[in-house]
Structure 1
Amino acid sequence: MDMSMMIKAVKELSRRGMKGYIIYDVGGGLDIPSPFLPPGGWGMLVVAAPETTSYISWANEKRAVRIIMNCPDESDVKAMCVWKKRNQPPPQQAEYWREVKGRMDKLGPILRYIFDEGSYKYWIAKCHDLVAWTTSWEIQRYFVFGTSKLWEGNKVLEYLARIVRVRGERNGELPLNAPITAHLASKTLCKLAQLMTQADFNLFVSRIRDCLMHANFGKCAMFAFLNVAFMAAIRRKLKELKPPTRRSSHRRASEVRSQEGPTSHYFLPSAERIGKKTCINHRLLYIPEVEKFPLVDGFFFMDSNPMTLVGLRMATAGGHHTTASTVRQFTDCLAAYFNSWKKLSRDMSWEIIYVQHADSTPLNDWQRCDVVNSDNVSKKESQKIAAFWEEKVRQYQVSIPSRDF
């Protein structure tokens, strides 16, 4: 039945006094909604993807209310996986869920691409290519992140964004274009950092900072530390986490030298890709390119006496204890990056800041460094590292509400 026949049929039903409701899927092959729909006494729901705009003139004419739906969350996708594999043994169900979750963590909850490996590889490659081939002439496309602007054919949003509902004024809701995953946000930020001036890049980060913090976007949110206001908010609210030894409180270097903080960023390559060592720069925020960098998500150095290493860890609720082998991996990386690390680190003090969004359950306890069996660290050295952690490392926790962004 073609469209004209369907319209004629529902109009006839309406004429006979029958009530009904039309669900019209613009993305399902249907064209622009007819101006004759819905007939009198009927309701109508037009379903469209964010990049679809063909229905807008119809919506304006009908004074339709715009409703934003969030993407499926993890529990929704897990339920779908259970249903798909309901006839298989539990171990196979669990393995399928691990595969799908791994794809979803990188690509987002895009149902047409995460359940099949071939579809996933196709779409993730297109996302990576879009970012990799971005030029300086195209960076304006990215400035719709953190706004409520319609997508209107913007490929950047189609590939890299999702729409979320956020609370606006007077408890109303607003749609917001947010990064779809930490993985794609990280690649996007790394690329834009190469193309933008520092001022433009800081402006871009300020627009999406709340999204990054709400979603616990790990090292992506490190860029917020380039913002002076954000650093000021951090300093005001730091809470020291004391070890069981009950040592005296310490005036942190970031407070003593409150005007000195990182003003630009530097991406640390993986240890295997280091060309030659460099000198420590106290004005740089060092952000690892690798996704599983040990111990911290980023760090910078304070030109204090003694010099202070400030490690930044984006933290969720629960413990963030570490191990001696992880600390050893971290110091090995720094030794590979920086000239004279062994000499400089001898008297260096450490501060670790656990940064949480205000909605998270705050960390209140000292985060341990445990001694565990490891192939790359002897038991004696592990005990030495654990003792250093408890005696020399200062820990702080800070919860940052959205208004401080």
Structure 2
Amino acid sequence: MAFHAFQERCVLRTDEEYVGAREQIESRWTEIRRRIREVGPLPRYIFDWKLFDNRLKEVEKALEGITEIDMERYVKIFFGGKQWIEDGTTHKIIRLVWSSIDGHESCRNYPASVVIAKELISRVAHYFAGASFLLKMLRMPGVDGAAVLEKIGVCAFMYRSVVDEIVGKMKHLPRTGSAARRSVLARVNAADRYAQDHRIVGFGSGTRQQGAKLDRNSLRPRVLYIPDIPNFPVVDGFYFVEAPPEDGVAGGGGAGGVRWRNWTFVGVQVTKAGKHDTDCGAVASFMRRMEQCIVDWEQLKGQISWEIIYVQGRDSIAINRRQACKMLATDDRQSDKRVLTDEERRRREERAQLLREHQSALAFWETVEQYQVKLDSELLTIISRAAEIGERVLVERAGIAVKVRRKAGGKQKCSRASLPA
């Protein structure tokens, strides 16, 4: 930033010239920040558009060249607390940083940029989101099973036996004075309550290649949607379950309403904490992200039911009350009649807009039903068993596919969709 400011200032002779060029300077700085997010804070690339484009292509090529062995190493790094020291990873996607933890200083590797970090985590999640990913990850030496479940344990909702057990153990967190309410997962058939497929959702914040938006044709029930960014607000992942509302009152009408009115959003938040209160800022951020991801978000939001499940580790203090949403923004309108400057008026309008967003977030949060479940030893055993079964099924499917190809003399392809479920 200092180098950029020095560059810009050198070509400006007077303050008047700066005022006149401010908009262009800010635009150039915005572009530089975007480049930093994509390839890292490397001056020789971010200040030269041609070198930046070449570097971006090199980064993409390096990411495409990640192998299965690389994936397992990244799992240990991201979820096992393993120090990322020099291991031959290309410096196109990592950078060396000086780390100080508990007074111990050392050099270690770190993703070269925010976008690269997101891409690495996304690829790891996508790679291990198959039927046997939990088994592989939980059995890797040096990997913290609790950390795995906390960060991407949402994928356990892809196992029918696991979801069946969760339904039997989950508890409703009612509003004050309200009666307990059954989850949509307890009301539908066992075959309809778990996610049968998954999709990594590319929000693409700060990237050139933004993920394609989901519309009413591509958005489907029983697909687990996993955000491609770490620390996604409010939930770790979500899917939709199709079932009539328990009270018999369907959602609103309008375009898409016929299809969506019986849908329930099931959000999953895996946490170690004994409470997971949120605030309107986080909920508002969640709503902005969803609007960014889903084309018909405003219609969808008002037409479906909402649930969130807090999945806790076995050693966690159980959440036993409804999680609150704290109001942060306040109405700071002044009573004086003085004339405001343009800057004061702009800031007041921004605060008013923030207040409206937080009020909308608070109202939305009140419509969300909350549930809690703990990953006790019994449930963890079921997860492991389900993963083992899933792994055997994959092996059997692979064997069937090989036999079909051999029988066809290599001329006929056997797609995964044609194999038995």
TM-score of the superposed pair, with normalisation by structure 1 = 0.50
Three-state SS of the structure 2 residue aligned to 1:259 is helix
> Could you tell me which of 273, 284, 287 is aligned with 1:317?
273
Three-state SS of the structure 1 residue aligned to 2:373 is strand
Three-state SS of the structure 2 residue aligned to 1:320 is coil
> Could you tell me which of 266, 272, 283 is aligned with 2:199?
266
Percent identity at matched positions? 29
Does the C-alpha gap of structure 1 residues 345 and 395 become closer, same or farther in structure 2, counting only changes over 3 Å?
Answer: same
Three-state SS of the structure 1 residue aligned to 2:303 is coil
Which AA in structure 1 matches 2:308? I
Is 1:227 aligned to residue 203 of structure 2? no
Does the C-alpha gap of structure 1 residues 397 and 234 become closer, same or farther in structure 2, counting only changes over 3 Å?
Answer: same
Does the C-alpha gap of structure 1 residues 395 and 377 become closer, same or farther in structure 2, counting only changes over 3 Å?
Answer: farther
TM-superposition CA deviations, 1:342-367 (whole Å, max 9, x none): 11221211111111112111111111
User: In structure 2, how many angstroms separate the alpha carbons of the residues matched to 1:189 and 1:325?
Assistant: 25
> Could you tell me which of 318, 328, 347 is aligned with 1:362?
318
Does the C-alpha gap of structure 1 residues 200 and 320 become closer, same or farther in structure 2, counting only changes over 3 Å?
Answer: closer
Count of residues paired in the alignment:
242
Q: CA deviation at 1:298?
A: 1.2
The equivalences for 1:72-221 within 5 A come to: 133-135=65-67, 190-192=122-124, 198-201=130-133, 203-205=135-137, 207=139, 214-215=146-147, 218-221=150-153
Q: CA deviation at 1:277?
A: 1.4
TM-score of the superposed pair, with normalisation by structure 2 = 0.49
Q: CA deviation at 1:376?
A: 8.3
User: In structure 2, how many angstroms separate the alpha carbons of the residues matched to 1:239 and 1:335?
Assistant: 30
What residue is the counterpart of 1:328 in the other structure? 284
Three-state SS of the structure 2 residue aligned to 1:356 is strand
Higher RCO structure (Cα 8 Å, ≥6 apart): 2
TM-superposition CA deviations, 1:230-280 (whole Å, max 9, x none): 222211110111122x22322211111232211222212234353431232
Which AA in structure 1 matches 2:268? L
Does the C-alpha gap of structure 1 residues 376 and 207 become closer, same or farther in structure 2, counting only changes over 3 Å?
Answer: farther
| Stretch of structure 1 that moved more, 295-304 or 378-387 | 378-387
> Could you tell me which of 279, 299, 307 is aligned with 2:238?
299
Which AA in structure 2 matches 1:243? R
Three-state SS of the structure 2 residue aligned to 1:215 is helix
Question: Is the CA contact (8 Å cut-off) linking 2:203 and 2:293 kept in structure 1?
Answer: no
User: In structure 2, how many angstroms separate the alpha carbons of the residues matched to 1:234 and 1:195?
Assistant: 25
Q: CA deviation at 1:218?
A: 3.2
Three-state SS of the structure 1 residue aligned to 2:302 is coil
Consecutive unaligned residues in structure 2, runs of 5 or more: 1-60, 78-86, 89-109, 245-261, 331-350, 381-421
> Could you tell me which of 184, 191, 204 is aligned with 1:253?
184
User: In structure 2, how many angstroms separate the alpha carbons of the residues matched to 1:226 and 1:189?
Assistant: 19
User: In structure 1, how many angstroms separate the alpha carbons of the residues matched to 2:272 and 2:76?
Assistant: 28
User: In structure 2, how many angstroms separate the alpha carbons of the residues matched to 1:212 and 1:351?
Assistant: 29
User: In structure 1, how many angstroms separate the alpha carbons of the residues matched to 2:280 and 2:72?
Assistant: 45
Larger Rg: 1 or 2? 1
User: In structure 2, how many angstroms separate the alpha carbons of the residues matched to 1:302 and 1:322?
Assistant: 24
Three-state SS of the structure 2 residue aligned to 1:277 is coil
User: In structure 2, how many angstroms separate the alpha carbons of the residues matched to 1:219 and 1:267?
Assistant: 14
Which AA in structure 2 matches 1:399? K
TM-superposition CA deviations, 1:143-172 (whole Å, max 9, x none): 999xxxxxxxxx89xxxxxxxxxxxxxxxx
